[in-house]
A and B are shown apart, each in its own frame.
Chain A
């Protein structure tokens, strides 16, 4: 069965970096794009962007350029989200979500809570 398993919660200080992983199983990793979605505490879902798992080409939503980087390691069917120069407002749950076309995010990771606090 399809599964997306994300890395565990992170507590970081302002200015630090964090790398969240999303390991896929149960399907051919390169057949589906991978998206990243942010949910700040008590807030709605916010689409961050997606990465083409065939080419590795990322697309970032407005507001997620510069400090946010999507990457892949196709040898282990894993997508990564790296955030640098962390700020308190980056505190959120970050989800990876498989895209079967359109927006059809049919499978989601369990979410990774990133807390930024001094």
Chain B
């Protein structure tokens, strides 16, 4: 089964907002409210930013928000800051045969 589809790269200026999409199918993203998002800086382990589509773990800035419409989940980062520059990956539940599936990742550049 193919990975979830994310744009390879997005960019924005400090203070702006950006949205990263994660497109799947009705068998994964569209079928369950189990989408999470991870931030990964170069050479570091991923960090959980959003879980269950739109929930933020304790300690994650409220500038990060998640949503879902149909088969596409989205991560929005508002008030972009230099430290937000990183790779972002989505992950979705895909049923008891496939379980979890990651997106290909999106590189965010803060201009």
Contacts and interface: CB of A to CB of B under 8 A. Distances in A.
Interface in A84-98: 95, 97
Nearest to B46: A108
A108 B45 contact: yes
Interface string B81-111: 0000000010111000011111111000000
B57 interface: yes
B36 interface: yes
Contact of B57 (A62, A106, A109): A106
Chain B's interface size range is 20 to 34
Contact of B101 (A47, A59, A109, A111): A47
Interface in B1-52: 1, 3, 34, 36, 38, 40, 45-48, 51-52
Contacts, number: 65
| Secondary structure dominating the interface of B | strand
Contacts of A61: 98-100
Interface of A: 35, 37, 44-47, 49-50, 59, 61-62, 95, 97, 102-106, 108-111
